[in-house]
Structures are given as C-alpha cells and as structure tokens.
C-alpha cells in the first residue's frame, strides 16, 4: 500500500473508532447486555471502509475550487466534525447488516472479523436486537450530530438522512439481500445473468458505499455537480469492491479475511467468479477502477485520497 495512504487510513481509523466509542450508547442509557452486544460487533475490527470514504470524500470536496469559493476554508478538525457523524452512522448500519447476514436464517456464518459472530456468543435473539439497536441509533445520531440550528447545516443533514435511508432500505441494501436470498442454492445458469448479479450487488453492497461517499460530500458543502461526480465515482468503486470480495472468497485465506472462505461457492451463491470466471472478474474490477479514476479527473477531484482508495480496493488481499 502507498505509505502516505497507509498513514492517512491509520489516522482516520483512529478518529472513527474514538467517535464510535463516543456515539454508541452504553449502560445506564440502555440495558447493559444490548450495549455490550452492539459494541462486540462494532469493535470486532474491520476496515472502516465506508466511514473512511465519507471522510475522504469530504476532504476531497473541500479542496475543490468551487467549494473553497462558496465556503470559508475549513480546518481538518472542522471537516471531521461535519463528516464523522455520517461516517459513524453508516458504519453502524453496515455492522447491523453483517450481524443479521450472519444469522442462521441468512448465511449462517460463525466467524466474522476474526472472531465468533454475535449470535454465536450472545444468542440469536440478542443478535437480532443488537442489529436493530445499531440501525435505529444510526438515524438518531444523524439527526443529532453535528449539532447546530443553522438552516444550511440542517438542510445538509436532512439530505444525508434521506440518502442513507434510501441506501439502507428496500431499494438498496435490504433489496439486495432479498435478491441474494432468492438466488442462493440454484445453478449459475438458472440464477440469472450478469445484469442480475450487478443489480444485486449495486443494492446490497454498492448503495451504502455510494451513500457514504455522497454523505461526506454533502456535509462538506458540495454542489450538485460535485455530488453527482462523487456518486458516479462511488458506483464504480462499489462494484470493484464487491468483485474483489467475490474473488477473495475463492482465493483468499481465512486468517487474512477474518471470516470463513469458500462459503459462497459451497452455498451456490451468485458471484462474479461463478458467472464470468476469475480472470474476467479481475479484468472487470480493473475496468471499474479506471472509470473511477477518469471520473475524478474530469471533475477536478484529483486532490486527496479518493484515487488512492480505488487502488487499495482493487489490490487488496483482505
């Protein structure tokens, strides 16, 4: 990994983890067992990819000439304060989705982020409640933070809430999971074509990645043109991320990934390697990356780490 990107990711992950610890409820604000269950999954590790995207998009947008003209130049701390709540809320929603995805009624997985899944440790009922708690608290956080009653800030917060809700709901992540459940267990030919596969992942994985990027851009003050560019970039990035995820389920190692490998094929899941093969999957991920780079260049969004994040995604081994 690029050393500058590695240092950036480390520093931002630290800020994200500190904020998550501050934002997540704990006893006596909630029953101790629910607070423990939520924190068990949130702090099990993970890349913090989605909140990192929110922060990187905010910083990239803030450096754009159009935004510098419209808003006073912000310090890094001010940008963090604007974008961190949205990033943390999305990480909470992402973690809720993993908790529910691992349940026996879904993927029935026993390992996540290198440790036993939540339902294995706390039971299915508490895992469901822990996921429900994270989803609900995420929207409470979005409504509450960053604090302030300025009209422009409130408008941006409402737009971010709408964006994230749509990405997490039936037209987004929930809908993608429904397609996944419907297609699991059939032969690749019977399950559908490449268009069905891409639609599933655009909803299940891509929607929240797009929402994270767009939320960061909105909170930094991006106008419509820049929001559209960030959204288009994140669409390509999200598809590349999922393709690489599918490849790693075939070629990766459990100790690197922190989860069971080979389960997609064993369960007959709809994946890119199953439909188009490994070589074509790699080619497709690289094509997504090239399009993402071109979108950033065309919108003069080259400054910052969004381009480096594309390369991190397509080259990752875990």
On average, the pLDDT of the chain sits at 90
pLDDT number for residue 68: 64
pLDDT number for residue 190: 46
Overall pTM > 0.75: yes
* Residue 107 in this model has a pLDDT that exceeds 60: yes
**64 vs 267 pLDDT, higher one:** 64
Q: Give the CATH number, domain containing residue 235.
A: 1.10.600.10
pLDDT number for residue 184: 75
**74 vs 95 pLDDT, higher one:** 95
Instruction: Using a pLDDT cut of 90, give the percent of the chain over it.
Output: 75
Model confidence band, residue 267 (pLDDT cutoffs 50, 70, 90): low
Give per-residue pLDDT as tens, 180-232: 888 876 544 444 578 889 999 999 999 999 999 999 999 999 999 999 999 99
Expressed as residue numbers, the domain containing 124 is: 3-315
pLDDT number for residue 261: 58
Please answer whether residues 171 and 165 qualify as being in contact, where contact means their C-beta atoms are separated by less than 8 angstroms.
no
CA distance 79 to 81: 5
* Residue 270 in this model has a pLDDT that exceeds 90: no
User: Structurally, how many domains does the chain consist of?
Assistant: 1
Q: What is the mean pLDDT of residues 92-112?
A: 94
Model confidence band, residue 265 (pLDDT cutoffs 50, 70, 90): low
Long-range residue pairs from 230-234, CB within 8 A, at least 24 positions apart, any chain: 230/57, 230/60, 230/61, 230/301, 232/295, 233/292, 233/295, 233/296, 233/301, 233/306, 234/53, 234/57, 234/206, 234/209, 234/210
pLDDT number for residue 189: 42
Q: What is the mean pLDDT of residues 81-90?
A: 97
* Residue 258 in this model has a pLDDT that exceeds 60: no
Give per-residue pLDDT as tens, 116-161: 999 999 999 999 999 999 999 999 999 999 999 999 999 999 999 9
Question: Which range has the worst mean pLDDT, 50-59, 177-186, 283-292, 302-311?
Answer: 177-186
DSSP sequence for 29-81:
SS-HHHHHHHHHHHTT----HHHHHHHHHHHHHHTSHHHHHHSPPPPHHHHHH
């Amino acid at each position: 990994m690029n050393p500058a990107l590695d240092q950036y990711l480390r520093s931002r992950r630290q800020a994200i983890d500190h904020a998550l610890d501050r934002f997540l409820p704990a006893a006596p604000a909630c029953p101790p067992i629910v607070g423990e269950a939520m924190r068990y999954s949130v702090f099990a590790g993970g890349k913090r990819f989605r909140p990192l995207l929110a922060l990187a998009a905010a910083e990239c947008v803030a450096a754009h000439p159009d935004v510098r003209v419209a808003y006073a130049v912000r310090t890094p701390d001010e940008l963090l304060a604007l974008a961190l709540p949205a990033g943390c809320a999305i990480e909470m929603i992402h973690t809720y989705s993993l908790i529910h995805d691992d349940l026996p009624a879904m993927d029935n997985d026993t390992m996540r982020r290198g440790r036993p899944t939540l339902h294995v440790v706390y039971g299915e009922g508490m895992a469901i409640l822990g996921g429900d708690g994270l989803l609900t608290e995420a929207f409470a956080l979005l409504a509450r933070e960053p604090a302030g009653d300025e009209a422009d800030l409130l408008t941006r917060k409402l737009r971010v809430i709408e964006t994230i809700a749509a990405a997490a709901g039936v037209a987004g992540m929930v809908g993608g999971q429904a397609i996944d459940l419907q297609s699991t267990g059939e032969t690749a030919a019977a399950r559908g074509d490449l268009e069905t596969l891409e639609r599933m992942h655009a909803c299940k994985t891509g929607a929240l990645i797009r929402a994270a990027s767009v939320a960061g851009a909105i909170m930094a003050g991006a106008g419509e043109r820049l929001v559209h560019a960030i959204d288009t970039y994140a669409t390509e990035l999200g598809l590349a991320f999922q393709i690489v995820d599918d490849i790693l389920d075939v070629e990766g190692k459990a100790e690197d990934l922190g989860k069971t490998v080979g389960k997609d094929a064993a369960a007959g899941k709809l994946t890119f390697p199953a439909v188009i093969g490994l070589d074509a999957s790699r080619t497709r991920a690289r094509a997504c990356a090239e399009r993402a780079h071109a979108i950033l260049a065309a919108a003069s969004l080259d400054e910052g780490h969004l381009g480096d994040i594309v390369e991190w995604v397509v080259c990752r081994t875990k």
